[in-house]
Amino acid sequence: MTDTKPPRADADERTTLLGFLDYLRSAVAGKATGVPEPQVRTPGVPSGTSLLGLVKHLTVVERFYFLGEDTADWAASMRPAPEETSEQLLAGYRDAVEQSNRVITACPDLSLPIPHPPRPASTPTMRWVLVHMIEETGRHAGHADILREQADGSTGR
């Protein structure tokens, strides 16, 4: 992989936040792309975290915050089922990102509550969710960096 540079930060707030989030999303998907079975789903750490598990988890998180889809089992979101392929999970992640970006773009003011709160008692602002998703995705992008290097020695973004 070759290193890519983060987005410029001279745009408006929404464009800057979404640019960084998309940059991190792309990094996660890139780390899981092209890794053969079984390495893509093989845990690289005692907690059981795998590249494919990170993709599945981030898909659930995107759908939770931006699309209002709750999950009954957060732990299961980190474990790809045997029948779930890399192609399916990466396509699902890209689809969730695309749908999420439509929600983000349609929000007229980042200080407004998200339009589809997954739980009635929870109504964070779009700004909060964007910052949280940058943190969440960035954290897991770092995990993906390490797991990919363990899988085949690839480094970079």
pLDDT, one tens digit per residue, over 43-81 is 999 999 999 999 999 999 999 999 999 998 999 999 999
| pLDDT at residue 38, as a whole number | 94
Confidence of residue 2 (pLDDT cuts 50, 70, 90): low
d(CA 94, CA 29): 8
Which residues are CB-neighbours of 110 under 8 A, at least 6 positions away? 13, 14, 17, 125, 126, 127, 130
Is the Cβ–Cβ distance between 143 and 27 less than 8 Å? no
d(CA 105, CA 124): 17
Please give the residue that has the higher pLDDT: either 121 or 114: 114
Which residues are CB-neighbours of 51 under 8 A, at least 6 positions away? 31, 32, 35, 39, 40, 41, 144, 147, 148, 151
Region of 68 please: left (phi>0), alpha (psi -120 to 50) or beta. left
Asked which of 20-34, 62-76, 92-106, 111-125 is least confident by mean pLDDT, the reply is: 111-125
Rounded percentage of the chain residues whose pLDDT exceeds 90: 83
Confidence of residue 123 (pLDDT cuts 50, 70, 90): confident
Confidence of residue 8 (pLDDT cuts 50, 70, 90): confident
